[in-house]
Chains A and B, each alone.
Chain A
């Protein structure tokens, strides 16, 4: 029983310390600055960006693709680890669910930032045409959003009931809210049966919709003629890339939360070791698809493909391209292949590299292709031959990233980041086994 109290105290949501307050308020400040920039963009039009008739999509789109990719973390960890009966997943699944919810909400918001006429958003529902890949996205993003919310919510029910009693005296209002959200959870066998069944269904659904979401996102590009997008590799390439981005984000966030909340007893080195191996596997698969995407066109050497690849391999995008491939994919894989490379801090660094690499990777998928159209770029201002984001684009994009972090922060503040009930059950089971 004493163990249980300690467990509850360790895992129940805690008020922000000084660092937490500073962190949250700086996020809010960044978001407000971003909002001001966005209002300015609405007033003046997309002219405040550095986009033009050739580079017609920029970091708004690549940032959107990044968010969509990262939201895959719920499918790749929660669903895959559940289906493969990997019981070590317990302390990290909730964090994965939280990241997925934050990212898919932000994906839905960021795609609107890119619209020339956000005031006509409803046209998508009034005049929507099923043959357009954008409508596929309009359907799948809210679907994935709802399923990822349910995947966060269903396993939370027992914990919410526990927190209701835990906060009864300390914070009655909070306790009331936990009570309402716990839907009168008592933990009787009937409830447990329904809950387990629901989680099973939702976990399966998140895997299916996750793969569909990533594939549709790939089809946004591969349904077009452009060199670099017109590739049958795209669907699988995006799914595997999403696994890398999602796992990278997960290990980074897990490390930070473990330090901030001193969860070393719950998230152990073993968990990092396992996550590290999983990330290494994802990186290797992604590397395989990258080879397909960049190396094989070199063999047939079609004129257009070659000039596109040259932009990446030794043209204006070469420094970024090699940084992303080597720094964001090859080096992380090599580090993770060694046992010494899979210590928590090392994995945190690798995670950061992978996430940053993943973000720029999407930029490299969107921009160079657009700067290389079929007909030569002529008779337009010289600046239209290049693209680099403007201040407005940077500020707004950084604000969306801050908003994702803020959603994660708020959820972490009010929800137990490690499932309390499940951990308690597992520990009880462990104790029983050792006693007997």
Chain B
């Protein structure tokens, strides 16, 4: 009985293997054939097309080689999460003249990234360089540096820099050594010291159309023993929407955009990035450290709001605006 069963299994395996092998060889053959046929037609084509390159010279191209260009802004283009959206370079401009510490940015960020602890990713600092100089409010996000100290020191590549400028964290790879937190001069990174209390996050994930964990949606879910931080909301920008803090700000303090397109917008107005930075003397935070941040600041001059107005929202020792 045993013997027989063994035999039949062996036969089955034997046959299965042979059939599988035959199919594989067959399909390779077919694909080769198909390839040969297509190249044949391509070679036969004699239609030429005149096109102008970006630097203005006319070139002639075979029509068969002309493919419609995928628009850089097109939604749902496939790209490697660790490489980023092709041909984009995301930047943010924060206008310190407009911030009044309303904390709507923080509220929206906390709510949409399910941040429930004492560790908001977006902070608004009360700054004053010296007793004689004026105080101002300064929102800080992750600076998404082009020379990120956190990425340099990460031993496992859990935090990585993308070509589109974003610095993201893979919470499924992070070992929780917190070296990146020590490396970041902006103290932007936070740690999940305990199991994050995020409610029924799996339900939320379905609601947001995210079936699986992705570094492109930080906080969904946060993982115990790993590092979190502002992610510039790639889950929104790939849908051509603005990050939560930008849309939430009542004063239009945050501008978001693409450096290659040289435009930034706060939702109300769209401005030329280079002109804005030149006209308003834009600067980057601790630029002397060589971190080359993607976040620019405009100095707090000609302010629209009174600094004191923000004080009612300010408490030195507590986080505000947790999600309801």
* Chains A and B are bound partners: yes
Binding site for B on A (CB under 8 A): 44-47, 49, 51-54, 56-57, 114-117, 120-121, 123-124, 126-129, 131-135, 138, 220, 223-226, 370, 373-382, 384
The answer to whether A45 touches B154 (Cβ under 8 A) is no
B111 within 8 A of A: no
The answer to whether A124 touches B120 (Cβ under 8 A) is no
The answer to whether B118 touches A380 (Cβ under 8 A) is yes
Contact among B157, B174, B191 for A56, CB-based, below 8 A: B191
Contacts of A224 in B (CB 8 A): 149, 153, 182-183
For the complex, give the distance between the alpha carbons of A393 and B130 in Å.
39
Q: Which residue of A lies closest to B120 (CB)?
A: A379
For the complex, give the distance between the alpha carbons of A130 and B119 in Å.
31
The answer to whether A53 touches B179 (Cβ under 8 A) is no
- Can you report 16 A-B residue pairs in the complex whose CB atoms are below 8 A from each other? A45-B224, A46-B225, A53-B191, A115-B176, A117-B176, A120-B173, A121-B175, A124-B175, A129-B154, A129-B157, A138-B155, A223-B183, A225-B149, A373-B185, A379-B318, A381-B317
Contact among A131, A133, A378 for B316, CB-based, below 8 A: A378
- How far does the Cβ of B314 sit from chain A's closest Cβ, in whole Å? 8
Contacts of B191 in A (CB 8 A): 46, 53, 56, 116
**Also in contact, A379 and B320, with CB within 8 A (given A44-B194, A45-B195):** yes
Interface size class of B (residues with CB under 8 A): 35 or more
Contacts of A225 in B (CB 8 A): 149, 183, 185, 289
The answer to whether B225 touches A116 (Cβ under 8 A) is yes
The answer to whether A133 touches B118 (Cβ under 8 A) is no
Which label, helix, strand, loop or mixed, suits the secondary structure of the B interface?
loop
For the complex, give the distance between the alpha carbons of A374 and B126 in Å.
13
Known contacts A45-B224, A46-B194; 6 additional CB pairs below 8 A are A49-B193, A53-B189, A56-B182, A116-B191, A131-B153, A379-B125
The answer to whether A135 touches B155 (Cβ under 8 A) is yes
The answer to whether A115 touches B175 (Cβ under 8 A) is yes
**Also in contact, A374 and B194, with CB within 8 A (given A128-B156, A379-B319):** no
The answer to whether B176 touches A127 (Cβ under 8 A) is no
Q: Which residue of A lies closest to B285 (CB)?
A: A375
The answer to whether B176 touches A116 (Cβ under 8 A) is yes
For the complex, give the distance between the alpha carbons of A115 and B175 in Å.
7
The answer to whether A123 touches B175 (Cβ under 8 A) is yes
For the complex, give the distance between the alpha carbons of A53 and B187 in Å.
8
Which label, helix, strand, loop or mixed, suits the secondary structure of the A interface?
loop
The answer to whether A132 touches B179 (Cβ under 8 A) is yes
For the complex, give the distance between the alpha carbons of A115 and B192 in Å.
12
B177 within 8 A of A: yes
Contacts of B185 in A (CB 8 A): 225-226, 373-374
The answer to whether B194 touches A45 (Cβ under 8 A) is yes
- How far does the Cβ of A29 sit from chain B's closest Cβ, in whole Å? 29
Q: Which residue of A lies closest to B122 (CB)?
A: A379
B40 within 8 A of A: no
The answer to whether A380 touches B317 (Cβ under 8 A) is yes
With a 10 A CB-CB cut-off, give which of B156, B189, B191, B227 has the most chain A CB atoms.
Answer: B156
The answer to whether A379 touches B124 (Cβ under 8 A) is yes
B263 within 8 A of A: no
B178 within 8 A of A: yes
Contacts of B157 in A (CB 8 A): 127, 129
Contacts of A381 in B (CB 8 A): 118, 317-319
Contact among A53, A124, A375 for B155, CB-based, below 8 A: A124
Contacts of A49 in B (CB 8 A): 193
The answer to whether A375 touches B125 (Cβ under 8 A) is yes
- How far does the Cβ of B172 sit from chain A's closest Cβ, in whole Å? 9
| Interface members, chain B 293-324 (any A CB < 8 Å) | 315-320
B152 within 8 A of A: yes
B186 within 8 A of A: yes
Contacts of B318 in A (CB 8 A): 379-381
Q: Which residue of B lies closest to A374 (CB)?
A: B185
Contact among A45, A120, A133 for B192, CB-based, below 8 A: A45
B247 within 8 A of A: no
**Also in contact, A117 and B155, with CB within 8 A (given A53-B189, A53-B190, A379-B123):** no
Q: Which residue of B lies closest to A376 (CB)?
A: B125
B181 within 8 A of A: yes
Contacts of B198 in A (CB 8 A): none
For the complex, give the distance between the alpha carbons of A123 and B154 in Å.
12
